[in-house]
Amino acid sequence: LLPLVSVNQILLLLLVLTVCAILYNKVHQVPLALKNETEDLESPEEMEEEIPVVICAAAGRMGAAVAAISSIYSNTEGNVLFYIVGLKTTIPHIRKWIENSKLKEIKFKVVEFNPMVLKGKIRQDASRPELLQPLNFVRFYLPLLIQKHEKVIYLDDDVIVQGDIQELYDTKLAPGHAAAFSDDCDLPSTHEMVRSVGMQNTYMGFLDYRKQAIRDLGISPSTCSFNPGVIVANMTEWKHQRITKQLEKWMQRNVEENLYSSTLGGGVATSPMLIVFHGKYSSINPMWHIRHLGWSPDARYSEQFLQEAKLLHWNGRYKPWDYPSVHTDLWENWFIPDPSGKFKLTRPES
């Protein structure tokens, strides 16, 4: 009898162990199955790093933002996320334009900029009032608008991108640098253009060296300036160095002492950046910022040079959606007409 009991006990024990093993496997296989399903649900695009690009959509210039976005989207396989910044009154227009055109495929977020942050920080300048538009100062406040990204590209609206924006995003920033810009002395091909249109490319053209506060900076007036219309920025460094606070400080000092707004350069958004970033920025490949296309209705670059350029910038008064202007064909390649008909190109025949 005893051996029979022992055999039964052994069989029972084996049965219990088998059931436990089956239950153990089932319990521990469930998370694996879920994990695999989750991985299968993630498309390669979702796993790819996002390239955040900030562009402003100002009233009267929305066609510029649309053309810039169109050119970027058409020339890259990268996972671009557009942050389109506007004022409360202009946001519905730009959103409708995108959603009712071939740009409806892009990934974008519309961000409202509150101009009240600029109260008391901008000195009125009658010579070029368009430079005082609130959205000109969006680049000062990038960390407040863009929360989750370490690296951000900011572009002026009057640009066209002919290269893959991934290349610009891959720009290396040196340790301790919050941003990368293009030097205004960096490309020999542009020197003749600069001389012919009287474009300023040194600090003397942007800051009033008659003022003690400017002389106290210890920056030589012949120092090469840079153009903040194309920026690759490191948000961690920007916040760590309190760049926005520094820029605001110089804006307020200009209101009190008129340090730069009436000088030759004219760009009231450029001058504080020249001060704050002096000697503390990395360089962008010169072909990623070919500028001065808007400084004269006559001065032109060679077609071959423009074909090789990665990014074209119509900085200056003569914009490619207006008349007169130069190289408008390159810009119009990327323009998408306004479905609402509010924005129209100015052309000789119109």
* Residue 235, domain CATH: 3.90.550.10
Do the domain assignments include residue 198?
A: no
Q: Give the Å distances, CA to CA, from 180 to 52, 188, 203, 315.
A: 15, 20, 18, 18
Q: Give the Å distances, CA to CA, from 109 to 20, 145, 158, 161, 349.
A: 52, 11, 20, 20, 36
Do the domain assignments include residue 217?
A: no
Do the domain assignments include residue 213?
A: no
Q: Give the Å distances, CA to CA, from 101 to 66, 67, 162, 214, 337.
A: 10, 12, 21, 48, 9
For residue 198, the model assigns a pLDDT of: 56
Strands 151-155 and 226-234: antiparallel
Which ranges of 42-124 does DSSP label H, i.e. alpha helix? Answer: 44-47, 62-74, 91-99
Do the domain assignments include residue 322?
A: yes
pLDDT in tens, the chain (350 residues): 445 556 677 777 777 777 666 665 544 443 333 333 333 344 544 557 999 999 999 999 999 999 999 999 999 999 999 999 999 999 999 999 999 999 999 999 999 999 999 999 987 765 566 667 899 999 999 999 998 999 999 999 999 999 999 999 999 999 999 999 999 886 666 666 666 555 678 898 889 999 999 999 999 999 999 999 999 999 999 999 999 999 999 999 999 999 986 555 556 899 999 999 999 999 999 999 998 899 889 888 899 999 999 999 999 889 999 999 999 999 999 999 999 999 999 999 85
For residue 30, the model assigns a pLDDT of: 37
300 residue type, one letter: R
Do the domain assignments include residue 208?
A: no
What is the pTM (predicted TM-score) of this model? 0.84
Do the domain assignments include residue 341?
A: no
Do the domain assignments include residue 111?
A: yes
The most distant pair of C-alpha atoms in the chain lies apart, rounded to whole Å, by: 115
Q: Domain tally for the chain?
A: 1
* Closest CA relative to residue 67, chosen from 298, 290, 343: 343
Asked if residue 208 lies in contact with residue 263, where contact means CB atoms within 8 angstroms, the answer is: yes
CA separation for the pair 309, 315 (Å, rounded): 15
The range of the structural domain enclosing residue 140 comes to 51-190+227-240+281-333
Do the domain assignments include residue 113?
A: yes
